[in-house]
Structure 1
Amino acid sequence: MESYWNGRPVYDKGNALRAAPLVVNYDLDELGIGENWFVSGVRDGFRMVDRGIVPGAGWCRALSAPECAWPPGADLCVVVNWYPDASFIGTFSNSPKKAKALFGKSHAEVEAHWATRLKAVAEALRSLGYIVERAGRRPRPTQDANASLLVYRMGPGAEPPVRPVDAWRWVPSPRVYRWSEKSPLEVLQRRMDDAGFRYQAGKGVVVRDIDTVLWPPLSSFCAQLDWWPDKVSSSEELYDKLDQILSAVKTGGYQVRVQERPMKIGAQHFSALVFQTVEPISPINFATIAGKAE
C-alpha cells in the first residue's frame, strides 16, 4: 500500500495555518492514529487517494489554530480532533439510564473507549516531542461527536506555560439562546458595530466562536476577532488601527491577545483573541511590537 505522503512536510512558521496541520497530520499517520491516507489507484495520470482508518481505535485529524490563540512561546500549534470508532458512537440522551450507543455499547463502555483512546493518542504524540493538553470544555462521550486536544511545540529555549489545575473550570456549558436574548458573542459584535467597525463590503470586524480548547486559562468567555483593514501602508499604521479596535474591546471589560510573531502588512486580515477571565492576564504592550511588523 503506497502512502499518500512523499516524505515529512517541511514546517514553515510563516505559513503556519497550512504547514502546522500538514506536519502533525503526517505524524498522526506515521503513528497509525490518523486518517492514514494511501494511494488507492491511478486514473488519467492522477493518484487516487483514500483513508485507511484502523478499526476499533478511532482516528485523529489536525486542524489549524490561529496564532493569537497559541500558548505563549509556542513555535507550532494545532487542534487535534479525535473521533471514536464507529462502533462506539454514543447516543445524544442526557439520561445515563437511557444512554445506549447506536451499536449496542453501554454508557460505561463508550466512556471507557474515549478515556483509553484519548490517553493513547496523547501519549503517542508526546513520544514525538509534542505537548498535549486536555484543554477547554471536558468532552461528553455520550453526547459529543469528537474530542479536541491542544497540541503544540515550544520554540527554542522556551518553557511550556504553567497551567492552573482548574484552568478551564469556568468554560460554560453549551446552551441555546432564545430570540429575545443576546449571546455573549452577539454582545461583542454589537459593541464593535457601534464603535464604527461594522463589517461592510469586505472591510471591518467580525467576531466568531472559537473551540474552547483554544481558550486561555481561567476564561469564562472567548471569541476570535477578525479584522479586514481598508488600507495599511506601514507597521505603525497597522498597529495604530489595531490598537483602536482593541481599545474599543477593552473598554467593555474584555482582554485581548494578538500573535507573538510580527504581523505582515500585506495579509488580507488580522486576528486577535478576545476573552474574559476570572483573573486578569498580562496585557499587551503594542509599543514594544509595533516596530516588529513585516
Structure 2
Amino acid sequence: MEQDLAKLGLAPATEMRRGIPYTVIPAGRGWCQAVYAPPEAWPPGAEVCAIVRWRPDAAFRRDRTTGRVPAGAEIHWKLRTRAMLRDLEAAGYLAVVSGPPRSPRLHPHEDILIWRLGPGAHWSWPPHEAWDGMDPARPNHQREYRPRARDPWALLSTTLGEYRVGSDHGRALAESIDAVLWPQQAEYCARVRWQPHPKYQRRPGDDHAPPGAAAHWKAGVHRLTHRLTGAGYRVRTAEHPASPDRDDEVGLLVWRGPLPFSYDE
C-alpha cells in the first residue's frame, strides 16, 4: 500500500542530494502514510485493509501554540480528501471517510479507510449517512472533562480488571482505536487484545501450540465476550478467526452505542 501511495504521488518521496537521502513532501497537497487496521475492524468481506492517514500541507495546518486555523484550511481539507478518494479508487481500492467527523479545526489529520474485497464478496458497507449527526471524533483539540464514574476508559478497565498477567482465563489489554474504525453510531470504542495463559502460548520456533491450547482459546475468548456484553458492550471479532497455531492473541472490537446498521441495508 505504501508503494501505491508513492505511485499516486501521495506519499513523501526520497531525493538524493550529494549522496544523502532527503525526504521530500509533495508541495501544496499534504502527504499520506499507510497505518495498520486490525482485522476485527475491517469492513465485511475485506481481504486486505488499512488506514490512509493524510496530513494537510504545512500552510493549512492548525497552529499548535495559538490554536489558529489558516484561512482556506477547510477548503484544502475537503478538496484534497475528494481527490484522494478518486485516486485510491482508481488504484483499485474501495475508499471511504468513515467514523465520526474530523475537521482541520479539531484534528491534525484526516483518515481514509481503504480495502479490497475477497473473492465472491460484494460491497455493501458502509450504510448511507451512517455517521451523520455524530459529535466530532475523539480525541480532538477540545478540552473535555469527565468524572471518573463516567469515563469510558475507566469503566472498560474496571470490566477487564480480573484479566491480568497470570490469570487462568488469559490476559486482556485495552487500547484506543482510531475513530475511522469505529462502528456506526458508536459512542465509545476500543480494541481489546486477549492473550492466552503462558502455558498455552506457542513457543518461538514451534509450529503448533501446546496441547489444550485450542480449548483454552475458545473458552477464554467466549468468557471475555460474555463478560463484556454483560457489562453493556457490543463486541466484534475478525471474520477469519485467530488460531493458537498461527497467532499470539485475539483482537476484539468493543464499543457502546446503538447496534450498527445491517450490512445488507
TM-score (norm 1): 0.74
User: In the alignment, which residue of structure 1 is the partner of 2:242?
Assistant: 263
Give aligned pairs, total.
Answer: 242
Return the alpha-carbon distance in structure 1 between the equivalents of residues 220 and 121 of structure 2: 30
Relative to structure 1, the CA distance from residue 265 to residue 170 in structure 2 (aligned partners, 3 Å threshold; closer, same or farther) is: farther
Give the gaps of 5 or more residues in structure 2.
201-211
Is 2:221 aligned against 1:242? yes
**Equivalent residue for 2:155, pick from 180, 187, 212:** 187
User: In the alignment, which residue of structure 1 is the partner of 2:37?
Assistant: 65
Question: Pairwise mapping of residues 38-187 of structure 1 onto structure 2 (< 5 A)?
Answer: 38=15, 49-91=21-63, 100-101=68-69, 105-106=70-71, 109-169=72-132, 171-173=134-136, 174=138, 176-178=144-146, 180-187=148-155
Relative to structure 1, the CA distance from residue 132 to residue 115 in structure 2 (aligned partners, 3 Å threshold; closer, same or farther) is: same
The amino acid across from 1:227 in the alignment is: W
Any conservation in 1 of the 2:34–2:52 contact (CA below 8 Å)? yes
User: In the alignment, which residue of structure 2 is the partner of 1:204?
Assistant: 171
Relative to structure 1, the CA distance from residue 264 to residue 142 in structure 2 (aligned partners, 3 Å threshold; closer, same or farther) is: same
Deviation, 1:100, is: 4.6
User: In the alignment, which residue of structure 2 is the partner of 1:6?
Assistant: none
Any conservation in 1 of the 2:37–2:49 contact (CA below 8 Å)? yes
Any conservation in 2 of the 1:189–1:207 contact (CA below 8 Å)? yes
Question: After TM superposition, what 4+ stretches of structure 1 lie above 6 angstroms from structure 2?
Answer: none
User: In the alignment, which residue of structure 1 is the partner of 2:2?
Assistant: 25
> 1:244 aligns to what SS in structure 2?
helix
The amino acid across from 1:77 in the alignment is: C
Return the alpha-carbon distance in structure 2 between the equivalents of residues 153 and 36 of structure 1: 25
Deviation, 1:237, is: 2.6
Return the alpha-carbon distance in structure 1 between the equivalents of residues 177 and 27 of structure 2: 30
Any conservation in 2 of the 1:170–1:218 contact (CA below 8 Å)? no
Return the alpha-carbon distance in structure 2 between the equivalents of residues 167 and 259 of structure 1: 21
Give the gaps of 5 or more residues in structure 1.
1-23, 43-47, 283-294
Return the alpha-carbon distance in structure 2 between the equivalents of residues 176 and 148 of structure 1: 22
The amino acid across from 2:259 in the alignment is: E
Relative to structure 1, the CA distance from residue 169 to residue 183 in structure 2 (aligned partners, 3 Å threshold; closer, same or farther) is: farther
Q: CA RMSD in A?
A: 2.6
